[in-house]
Structure 1
Amino acid sequence: MLNKTLRTRLSFQLPRLIMLIVLMAFMGAGLSGQGFNANDLSRLRSSDISDAQLQTIIDRGEQEGISATEAINLAKARGLSPSVANELLKRAETLQSQADKPVVSQQRLRKELVPAKIADAANLSDTLVAEEMVGPQIFGSSLFGNRQSIFEPAMNIPTPLNYVLGAGDELIIDIWGATTNFYQLQVGNEGSVTIDNVGPVYVHGLTMEEAEAKIIEKLKLLYRGLRSGQADQTTYASVSLGRVRSIQVTIIGEVKTPGTYTVSSLSTVFNALHSAGGPGKIGSYRQIELIRDNRIHAVFDLYDMLLRGDQSGNLRLNDQDVVRVATIKNRVEVAGHVRRPALYEVKDDETLAQLIEFSGSFNDSAYTRQVKLIRNSETERMLITVPRSEFDSFLLTNGDVVQVDKILDRFSNRVTIEGAVWRPGDYELTEGMTLSQLIALAEGVMPDVFRGRGVINRLSDNYDFRVESFSVDKLLAGEYDLALKPEDHVIIRSIHDMREERTIQIGGEVKNAGLFQFREGMTLEDLILMASGFKVSASEARIEINRRILGEAAPAKRGTKLAETYVFGVDRKLTLNDEAKTFELRPFDQVYVRPRPDYQVQRSVRIEGEVLFPGEYTLSDRNERISDLIKRAGGLTDEAYIKGATMLRQSLQLSRVETEVDLGMDLTVEKPKSNENFVGIDLDDILASPGTEDDLFLRPGDEIRIPSELQTIRVSGGVLREAEIRYTEGKNLKYYVSRSGGYTQSARKGRAYVLYANGDVETKGSFLFFSSSPKIEPGAEIVVPEKVEVGSLSPGERISILSTVVSMAAIVITAISRF
């Protein structure tokens, strides 16, 4: 039993081993030309095998059922290096992944042998690139220039009855009924198919219809029930074409890629021509010859298919046919306003009318009365004008250029009306048409028409515009009329167009102040209503109206009055009195509603720090002072540091407050501006003497800050270390500077100053040989200014200044010497 199993496995694996050996022999044979031994692959490198050779080995292995991995393993057994084997395996996997494409397999679908061009030309479908034409395109060239278009013969169609069988075709014989069978036979080189138990049947040169009849007659000898057309028929048979054979055709002449091609036997002249890239630049599209048995079998005119879809001349090819594209004889250009401007090939007897038909006829804006044609003579060019009546008889020659012009951008019978009519626009000018008839076509004039004058912009004989005026009022009354001419432009204005836009303005204490359109009969009450009424702050006693003074057209002298002013009052309920109700406004009036003098929106100040009730307080009086606010806040707490109290005032309220300390020369301490400014106050004096000049009046937004007791002194500026130092009573400025490390080299010792907690500033003083330092209090800051570093001049700068001074001195001396 074991021996039987072993023999079975060996019998199953033996063919595969044989195929592997054959494959490696094939590999060795392919490499033997490069100096390698098929039995010794130890010197083989990956670079010695090209991608094409590797792909050929893979394809051969797939045909024999051997994978790339199995082939590489066998190559290792023959001495191939493992690293080279792995590299070859990776390359094989890459090639396979690039070549993998989804394949739809259908058992009974007709298949075509892969067409391939033989001879010296490369694969056209991959390498042929459409040539870019400079200038006008050749009609039909885009059909061959777009390589994405596929014009291959349809394979899965019913077999044509006139299809002639030949060697390489595959016949499918299907038998069903009382007896079933299936044959898939290929026509051999001798022209016959061999049927089991029947023998060879010669079908070469027969059509499918003839071959089917002949084969079924032969099958009747084998199947008794196969009696076509008889009542006792029990077996049926059909013969169809499976895989078609490939044929070789030669394409010559003026094509882009001439040569010999392998194509399907169902291919036509056009299929072969498309495979070769189509006619070249001087190739004919209308003289494509099919040469069979050394004589011209047919001539294919590609224009018949392109323009009319007629494929009667697109014949099916036979093996060894020759397709020849002749050189073009007559080519003309159609340019301008046609639907398909291009270069066209014409025959000797074709006319201009046929050429215009080739180009898709005239487009919508073409001038069709005549066309211009440029023709080459033996010595020069000449211009020919061809009228429309000669299109059908005018013959074309090689090199003609047909130019179709555009119609003029003008109207022969147009008049236009605009302005105060109901339907302005363009109208047809009929014979004898008048201005009143045009106004009637425009549905008449509007009620606001300006009746004094209208104008007609008329085109004169020399194509210059001139103006003709008319009275609209008299025209409408029928007193006279005007005849119209082509391109007349009638303008009738509205009274609103003839005057300045009339507006009226209201401002002040109304909800929506602004500019409004003036209306006749508008009163002050109407305008206030349009402005959404009064605000609460509006004064009940004063509404002011300022009216424009028009003046006289030609006064003796200019007046001094600039406007007329009217003032009206309202009651407490903000209703107008009778005089205001009857007062009519005029265009350009300016109305202003004044606010109540005592109307105030609540405004507040704030106090923070050491008071009993800190927070925000509303000002109750215009003359409320700092002392009043402290009283309202419940007074100071026991921890309050009075000397450190400060007041912050918004910059909009106090735009002049700045702190500048003169330090001598041009050096001034400048602090960046902010929205808040510190105002120095002496709270001790304020509380001791309320109401004095130190007790400032409060303004909205003010903020009083009263800190608790401060215990440090800050030292900054020109010291070695800026620091916060504990306050020691009785110590002076020098003490705190020394506690900060002393002065720096750039410090201006004599200009040191003290900034107190309440915002006051005091500088060091001097008298004769004596100097005094400001008193130091808790919370103060000692600021030591630093010298401004001025860079020294470079040698070049010094030379430049010296030369300037010398030049100026020379000029001065020269000027003095002349006097």
Structure 2
Amino acid sequence: MYKFSFIFSLISFLSFAQNPLDQAKNLGIRSESDLKKFGVSQSEIDRAKAEMLNTNSTQVDDKTTKKISSTSDKKLVKKQVIKSPELIKPIKKPEVFGQEYFNSGYFTLKENSFRMNPPGNYLLGPGDNISITIWGQSEFSNEFTLDEFGNITPKIVGRINLRGLTFSEAKQVIKSRFSKIYNLKSSKISINLTYSKIISINIVGEVKKPGTYSVPGINSAFNLLSLAGGVTKLGTVRSIEIRRENKVVQLLDLYKFILNPSEFSDVFLQDGDYIVVKTQGGVVDVKGEVKRPGKFEINDHDKLADIIKIAGGFSVYANKESINIKRIVGNKWVFERYKLNTPEYNNLIIGNGDQIKVLKISSIVYGLVKITGAINVEGEYPFKEGMKVNDLIKLAGNLNNHSYLEHAQLIRTNNDLSLSSRTIDIKEAVNNPNSNANLVLKENDSIIIFDKTKLNFENQVTARGALRKTGTTLFAEGLTIKDVILKFGGFKMEADFDKIEVERVLYAKKDSNNSYIQIINLSFPKDQDFLLAPNDIVNFRSLPRFVGQKSVVITGEVKHPGKYTLNGSNEKITEVIQRAGGITSWAFLEGAQLKRNQDSLGLILMNLNHALKNPKSKYNYYLNPGDSISIPKSSNIVSISGAIGYKNVNPNNNTISSPYNRNHRAGYYVKKYGGGYSKEAKKRSVYVVGSNGIVKESKFYGLLRPKVKSGDKIIVQSKIKRTEREKGKKVDWNSVIENVTIKATAILTLLVLTQQAFN
């Protein structure tokens, strides 16, 4: 128990110290082996450290120290490694290529796990765990921890010193020693690293989170830089120093690793090593046709070819004879141009601030000829010296039925890139290959074969009027009136078969442009076989004043409500009501309505009672298609709304209904059923709206209210409220007096002038 208290107190002291590594070294403690000198067992060390991790896990400062336990508890080690939430943040585009590798997840911290697979050059040291297993004729299995001197001591075999050996060298030494005791010829041996020693590495310079990090020794410098958040914008990625005992033991160049990761040789870190990230060297900007354009860090000896290689090499479209560089020479920018594989290109040393741009090759395609239009297989074909028009036509599958043989067009690209055009007699070139029409082609020539079906735009016939469809159709010899009727879906119902007109263009002379229109009158089916000519316009006329089935709707209190087709254009309301069986005994004639959609007229005022008594009444309207007649059921209800007292009782509803009382005016209903007039009521403006839409207003300044009938609506208008501006507006009496004075002076002056005129 005393030992456990001692190690717990010791670890507590080191955890709260500003620099725990220095404090531990001052006490002479550099490893677990040093603790064991004090008589502390491995199990007691594990217990104490586990206790410390559970109690002080919240006091770990990520900005200064990342500590990973050297306990054999693998789960505890994994728990401590998973830190650094920066790894899941969105990665910003770096200023210089390579800086993003340390915070993009490319390098991740390697954790201690059972049966690791370290590289052959991994250096063994105190704290490493090695498992040795033999199976076959001989059997052996055990795990060993290298002590402070780098020794393991298997039973029977004896002490084996592995300190400073690589993992590959250590395996050979172990096999050699075990072969003296065990029969390895008839057995197999497996040697694995099961736990990597914990080392403390100091990271300084241009990194985002400098400090001291305790990690498994199997990690490389790149893994540690990832744990430290990566380099800053100013940090180098090409000259990262590994310092040991104040000496640089290795310079790391990330670009070499990226370009040849399999050939990259990395020195494993040792306890107390320093990773120093200095400020970056020169930077160049590479643009244009490279696979990885961007900004790149350079060394003093980098050449142009090296930078192109780092940028991924040339793209497919790169013009390798036009590599442009802008660089500062003295106090001015200088432009230079280089070609690939020339001495100047191969030997050019790149300087800080250089701007490199690889231009793109021309988009002009050479070594071809082209043919388009009325040809079987139009497109581009390889050019051969001496090939002619007929040769290209054969390559394109020959002419087709649409080819216009009298005229084709050859377009040629001249040396100055201008275009010239030439006419070809295709018929002569094909029929007589030895003729002058069969021209010799040049590179990038283009031939256009015209389509004769598209040249004669006037060969069509137009149909208009009373057909189900109208439009134009291509003219063909033998086209008749019947063909056009069938083509456009046949006649409409209103078509007049005896009134078909054909408008035809006739030319006075064959070689003259003078023309006139001839009208040809036809009938169907008598002239159904009449032959049409190009550009004829056929008009199919409609029967005069023809009206198809046009209907109105009647709803409500008639014996047979529904749709009724109008019998001509002079049918009236009463006639349709009579066809509907007449009105029922419940019909409320005063509330009948007529709505008309035509011309957006809407509600039309009517008096159906008057119309039924007198068919010649002005309210007996002629009906139009789409009209709607509504005859409501008798109602003994009167509704009252607007500025009435009822609103004060029920603010959410200003309408109330009451029973109908004969021979009473609107004021009676307002006072008896509506709670009287409200304060906002404009008593002069009381309206009564009948069920048929007729509006009646008060007369004699509101003293005589309109009479009310069954089903009417009483509306009491509210006073118009003055705006706050009108209420608060003050009278400008100076302006009023001034205006009155001016007008009075004008009147007096006029009177004086009048008197003088008559005197």
Range into which the TM-score falls when normalised by the shorter chain: 0.5 to 0.7
In terms of fraction of residues, the more strand-rich structure is 2
Q: Answer yes or no: is 1:513 the counterpart of 2:469.
A: yes
For 2:649, the equivalent position in structure 1 comes to none
Q: Percent identity?
A: 21
Q: 1:115 to 1:409 in 2, by over 3 A?
A: same
Q: Is residue 394 of structure 1 aligned with residue 347 of structure 2? A: yes
Whole-angstrom distance in 1 between the partners of 2:400 and 2:738: 85
TM-score using structure 1 length: 0.61
Amino acid at match of 1:513: K
Secondary structure class of the residue paired with 1:580 = coil
Q: Which residue of 2 aligns with 1:411?
A: 365
Q: Which moved more, 1:731-740 or 1:389-398?
A: 731-740
Q: Is the 8 A contact 1:172 1:241 kept in 2?
A: yes
Contact 2:605 2:694 in 1 (8 A): no
TM-aligned CA deviation for residue 418 of structure 1? 3.5
Q: What residue in structure 2 maps to residue 584 of structure 1? A: 532
Matched, 1:424 2:366: no
Query: How far apart in 1 are the matches of 2:235 and 2:711?
Result: 104
Match of 1:150 in 2: 108
Contact 1:716 1:784 in 2 (8 A): yes
Q: 1:803 to 1:197 in 2, by over 3 A?
A: farther
Match for 1:189: what amino acid? Answer: E
The alpha-carbon distance between structure 1 residues 531 and 807, as it changes in their structure 2 partners (threshold 3 A), is farther
State the partner residue of 2:483: 526
Structure 2 CA distance, aligned partners of 1:756 and 1:191?
Answer: 113
Q: CA deviation at 1:407?
A: 1.2
CA contact (8 A) 2:506 2:518 kept: no
In 1, the alpha carbon distance for the partners of 2:46 and 2:117 equals 36
Name the residue aligned to 2:174.
212
Distance 1:591 1:371, change over 3 A: same
Secondary structure in 2 matching 1:343: strand
Separation (CA, whole Å) in 2 of partners of 1:590 and 1:25: 112
Give the distance between the partners of 2:629 and 2:429, measured in 1 at CA: 83
Against the structure 1 CA distance between its residues 190 and 21, is the aligned structure 2 distance closer, same or farther, given a 3 Å change threshold?
closer
Q: Post-superposition shift, 1:364?
A: 0.8
Does the CA contact (< 8 Å) of 1:737 and 1:743 recur in 2? yes
Q: Quick check: 2:505–2:536 contact (8 Å CA) kept in 1?
A: no
Residue 678 of structure 1: aligned partner: 606
Residues in 2 aligned to 1:334 and 1:293: alpha-carbon distance in whole angstroms = 39
CA deviation after TM superposition for structure 1 residue 614, in Å: 4.4
Residue of structure 2 aligned with 1:651, choices 590, 596, 600: 596
SS in 1 for 2:606: strand
Residues 691 and 621 (structure 1 numbering): CA distance in 2 closer, same or farther, change over 3 Å? farther
Q: 2: distance between equivalents of 1:368 and 1:141?
A: 29
Deviation at 1:355?
Answer: 4.5
Pick one of 128, 142, 147 that aligns with 1:188.
147
Moved more, 250-259 or 433-442: 250-259
Whether the 8 Å CA contact 2:594–2:605 is kept in 1: the answer is: yes
Q: How many residues align?
A: 685
What aligned pairs does 1:393-472 form with structure 2 within 5 A after superposition? 393-399=346-352, 401-413=355-367, 415-450=369-404, 453-459=407-413, 463-465=417-419, 467-469=421-423
Q: Kindly report which structure 2 residues correspond to 1:191-270, keeping only aligned pairs within 5 A, or say none.
A: 191-193=150-152, 204=163, 208-209=170-171, 212=174, 216=178, 226=181, 228=183, 241-247=193-199, 262-267=214-219
Where in structure 2 are the equivalents of 1:54-93 lying within 5 Å? Answer: 63=48
Change (3 A) 1:543 1:800: farther
What amino acid maps onto 1:365 in structure 2? Y
Distance 1:805 1:438 in 2: 101
- Find the partner of 1:167 among 126, 148, 155: 126
1:496, distance to aligned residue in structure 2 (A)? 4.3
Cα distance change on mapping 1:788 and 1:462 into 2, 3 Å = farther
Aligned to 2:501: 545
Structure 1 counterpart SS, 2:102: helix
Determine if contact 1:422/1:446 at 8 Å carries over to the other structure.
yes
Distance in 1 (alpha carbons) for counterparts of 2:245 and 2:687: 122
Query: Do the aligned residues in 2 keep the contact of 1:332 with 1:343 (CA within 8 Å)?
Result: yes
Alignment partner, residue 99 of structure 1: none
In structure 2, how many angstroms separate the alpha carbons of the residues matched to 1:725 and 1:174?
109
Which amino acid in the other structure matches residue 549 of structure 2? Answer: V
Q: In structure 2, what is the Cα distance between the partners aligned to 1:326 and 1:757? A: 95
CA distance in 1, matches of 2:231, 2:708: 107
Deviation at 1:805, TM superposition (A): 11
Residue 64 of structure 2: aligned partner:
none
Shift of 1:366: 0.7
Measured at CA, do residues 405 and 177 of structure 1 come closer, stay the same or move farther in structure 2, by a change above 3 Å? closer
Structure 2 counterparts to residues 546-625 of structure 1, below 5 A: 546-547=502-503, 549=505, 564-570=518-524, 576-577=525-526, 579-584=527-532, 586-587=534-535, 589-592=537-540, 594-595=542-543, 600-601=548-549, 603=551, 606=554, 609=557, 613-616=559-562, 618=564, 622=568
CA shift, 1:363, in A, is 0.8
Contact 1:110 1:243 in 2 (8 A): no
Equivalent residue letter for 1:651: R
Asked if the contact 2:367/2:383 (under 8 Å) is kept, the reply is yes
In 1, the alpha carbon distance for the partners of 2:90 and 2:555 equals 89
More off after superposition, 436-445 vs 286-295: 286-295
Change (3 A) 1:451 1:162: closer
Is the contact made by 2:499 and 2:540 (CA closer than 8 Å) also made in structure 1? yes
Q: CA RMSD in A?
A: 6.6
* Matches of 1:300 and 1:775, distance apart in 2: 105
Contact 1:715 1:782 in 2 (8 A): yes
From 473, 480, 484, the equivalent of 2:437 is 480
Q: After TM superposition, give the deviation of residue 365 of structure 1 in Å.
A: 0.9
Q: Render the CA deviation track for 1:152-180: whole Å, top value 9, x for unaligned.
A: 49973467777665433334466889998
Q: SS of 1:339's equivalent?
A: coil
Give per-residue Cα distances to partners, 1:278-324, cap 9 Å, x unaligned. Answer: 78778776666767787776666655543233446423445566677
TM-score, with length taken from structure 2: 0.65
Q: Distance in 1 between matches of 2:139 and 2:377?
A: 86
Q: Is the 8 A contact 2:138 2:182 kept in 1?
A: no
Q: CA deviation at 1:405?
A: 1.5
Structure 2 SS opposite 1:404 = strand
Equivalent position SS for 2:319: coil
User: Distance between the aligned counterparts of 1:250 and 1:755, measured in 2?
Assistant: 96
CA contact (8 A) 1:518 1:587 kept: no
Query: Structure 2, unaligned stretches of length 5 or more?
Result: 19-43, 62-68, 647-655, 754-759
Give the secondary-structure state (helix, strand or coil) at the position aligned to 2:195. Answer: coil
Aligned AA (1:526)? D
Q: Give structure 1 stretches of 5+ with no counterpart.
A: 1-14, 34-58, 72-87, 96-102, 117-122, 221-225, 571-575, 657-672, 767-771
Separation (CA, whole Å) in 1 of partners of 2:269 and 2:498: 108
Contact 1:607 1:615 in 2 (8 A): yes
Residues in 1 aligned to 2:469 and 2:551: alpha-carbon distance in whole angstroms: 25
Structure 2 letter corresponding to 1:528: I
Amino acid in the other structure paired with 2:107: S
Label 1:684 to 1:763 Cα distance change in 2 as closer, same or farther (>3 A): farther
Return the offset for 1:367: 0.7
Alignment partner, residue 323 of structure 2: 371
Confirm or deny: 8 A CA contact 1:256 1:277 kept in the other structure. Answer: yes
Contact 1:288 1:324 in 2 (8 A): yes
